[in-house]
Chains A and B, each alone.
Chain A
Amino acid sequence: MTVPAARVTAAPARARLGGWSGAGLGVAVLWLSLLVLLPLAAVVATGAGDGWSGFWSAVSNHAALTAIRLTVLSALAVAAINAVLGTLIAWVLVRDSFRGKRIVEAVIDIPFALPTIVAGLVLLTLYGQQSSIGVHWYATNQGVLVALLFVTLPFVVRTVQPVLLALDREAEEAAASLGAEPFTTFRRIVLPAIAPAVASGAALAFGRAMGEYGSVLLISGGLPRTSVASQYVFAQIQNDEYVSAAAVSTVLLLISIVVLAVLGQVHRRAARRG
């Protein structure tokens, strides 16, 4: 008598769409289209509304270029600064222990939860004209930078922390036993392992910094030379210059896509090794 072979259960298979789930998908797609796809398409279409010359003049005038340049450079700087300091902070939170560490953990979450305009006011108070510590960064590039650093603080820290927690500590001990001083061990063993996470966090920080508005608004003072791109676009909207606003917005979206794609490649290449 033959015994039937045991059936091998694969990972839970996903089901085909039925009546209710199909309708649900339809609703979800409709909602997404109405809310996200259509509006974004409208931006791109409107930007091209006056043809190539209209687009170009909207984007290449002095004020627009200044704003775009400030925005991109600041976002890159912020991504880089966060990559270093965020990793350092994550390291301290994971490997060190001291009284008040939990407070530091909670403080790091503040930028996630605080309204951007409140962040802006808070930074203006300490680093603006009425500063109690004598730091006057109102209407300066440094002020813009500080605002962007504020809102992007948690990104790299929170992506790197879980990876650090999961690291094989014995590999670091092995490196030490082979003669590697602590910094060498960090450079050759820890860094390659956390590189993908640092890249992801930096990408998030970059994207956020490119589009940031509320926190920068107050401290930049609205002057053309310290206005970021989002402020410029807002001004255009207020003046009913929709084509101009849409054109600059399109440029911002494109820059973000390119940089995010590059950082995505970095992430992928770094992740392949592990």
Chain B
Amino acid sequence: MASDLLEAPVAAPAPVRPVRPRKRRLTRYALRFVAVAYVAALVAMPVVVVVWRTIDQGASTFWHAITAPDAVHAYQVTAQVAGLAVLINTVFGVGVAILLARYRFPGRSLLNVLIDVPVSISPIIVGLALVLVFGWTTGWFGPALQNAGIEVIFSTPGMVLATAFVALPLVVREVLPVLEEEGIEQEQAARSLGANAWQRLVRITLPTVKWALAYGVVLSVARALGEFGAVRVVSGDVSGQTQTLTLVVDERAEQFEPGAYQLSVVLIAVSAICIVAISLLRPRGEC
């Protein structure tokens, strides 16, 4: 009988006594403290200290550091390399995303997996890999490139390749989910109204993904500006010629020359702008 079920006594878990809400609150404070302290000690404090030391070293030191000739040259190189790499990645990213989302072809899932490979490879290995293909004396295409007079390694093209490699998946991975979820019916509607492929791309597809694309581009820019290891290998790290801003910071730091902090602060400022942009553009549903 059903009532038998309730006759066998089951002990209540603990004597019933009012619990101070303080105990629950204590756990909450403890967790909060650990989280905030960890993040502060690991990230916030170090950054603050660097900014502080930079300010401490004064405005004229700052000015000298950021106007030093090799620094100025590095701005140019960085802008060029990062700009080209992000541009290539954006075009590639949107193109591949459209291919993966809208078409079927053999090897589609393989392509999908390959896109993610660059993220998990050490930048030094990336640099090495490019040198072993495009280097004049060391690479598979070396002799051919040398004959044609095309300098990839130790020059801008190589640096662009290295930067594009490390940021490869960023745009694709932001745009692809959006394309898979939306847009296909609108594209079909546009097609039935007579729009050709280019018009559909520009008027329907791109606007559908514009926020995801912006997010991916900002991530790519941040990644490109910050690339260090791969570019170091590929560029030869030649002062005043093939150095990006990150390489200059490294040289200053390793040679104990002044200016490392100041140029770092410039990079921190740019990163801060990227972070703000990232937070604002972050796809809804997170945080």
A residues engaging B (CB < 8 A)? 12, 14-17, 20-21, 24-25, 27-29, 31-32, 34-40, 42-43, 46, 85, 88-89, 91-93, 96, 98, 100, 104-118, 120-127, 132, 146, 149-150, 153, 158, 161-162, 165, 179, 182, 207-208, 210-214, 217-218, 229-231, 233-234, 237, 242, 245-246, 249, 252-253, 256, 260
> Which A residues lie within 8 Å of B120 (CB)?
207-208, 210-211, 256, 260
A132 close to B49 (CB less than 8 A) = yes
B253 close to A113 (CB less than 8 A) = no
Among B128, B227, B228: residue with most chain A CB under 10 A: B128
> Which A residues lie within 8 Å of B129 (CB)?
39-40, 42-43, 249
Decide yes or no: A182 and B127 within 8 Å by CB, A37-B114, A46-B132, A126-B45 being known contacts.
no
A120 to chain B, nearest CB (A): 8
A112 close to B222 (CB less than 8 A) = yes
> Which A residues lie within 8 Å of B130 (CB)?
39
Tell me the bound Cα distance from A207 to B131 in angstroms.
Answer: 22
B residues engaging A (CB < 8 A)? 13, 24, 27-28, 31-32, 34-36, 38-40, 42-47, 49-50, 53, 92, 95-96, 98-99, 101-105, 111, 114-115, 117-133, 138-140, 161, 164-165, 168, 184-185, 197, 219, 222, 225-229, 232-233, 245-247, 249-250, 253-254, 260-261, 264, 267-268, 271-272, 274-276, 278-279, 285-287
Q: From B130, which residue of chain A is reached at the shortest CB distance?
A: A39
Q: From A218, which residue of chain B is reached at the shortest CB distance?
A: B253
A14 close to B279 (CB less than 8 A) = no
> Which B residues lie within 8 Å of A182 (CB)?
24, 27
> Which A residues lie within 8 Å of B118 (CB)?
36
B229 close to A113 (CB less than 8 A) = no
A43 close to B128 (CB less than 8 A) = yes
Which applies to chain B's interface (DSSP): helix, strand, loop or mixed? helix
Tell me the bound Cα distance from A114 to B267 in angstroms.
Answer: 8
6 A-B pairs (CB sep. < 8 Å): A36-B165, A118-B267, A122-B46, A213-B228, A230-B122, A242-B128
Q: Which 8 A-B pairs have the closest CB atoms?
A: A211-B122, A115-B226, A39-B129, A213-B229, A214-B228, A42-B132, A207-B120, A92-B35
> Which B residues lie within 8 Å of A21 (CB)?
98-99, 102-103
> Which A residues lie within 8 Å of B245 (CB)?
115
B184 close to A12 (CB less than 8 A) = yes
Which applies to chain A's interface (DSSP): helix, strand, loop or mixed? helix
> Which A residues lie within 8 Å of B268 (CB)?
114, 118
A24 close to B95 (CB less than 8 A) = yes
Tell me the bound Cα distance from A97 to B50 in angstroms.
Answer: 29
Decide yes or no: A253 and B125 within 8 Å by CB, A35-B165, A213-B229 being known contacts.
yes
B38 close to A122 (CB less than 8 A) = no
Instruction: Choose among A17, A111, A253 the residue that contacts B103 (Cβ–Cβ < 8 A).
Output: A17
B278 close to A162 (CB less than 8 A) = no
B114 close to A98 (CB less than 8 A) = no
Decide yes or no: A126 and B165 within 8 Å by CB, A91-B31, A182-B24, A246-B132 being known contacts.
no
A205 to chain B, nearest CB (A): 11
A161 close to B103 (CB less than 8 A) = no
A207 close to B127 (CB less than 8 A) = no
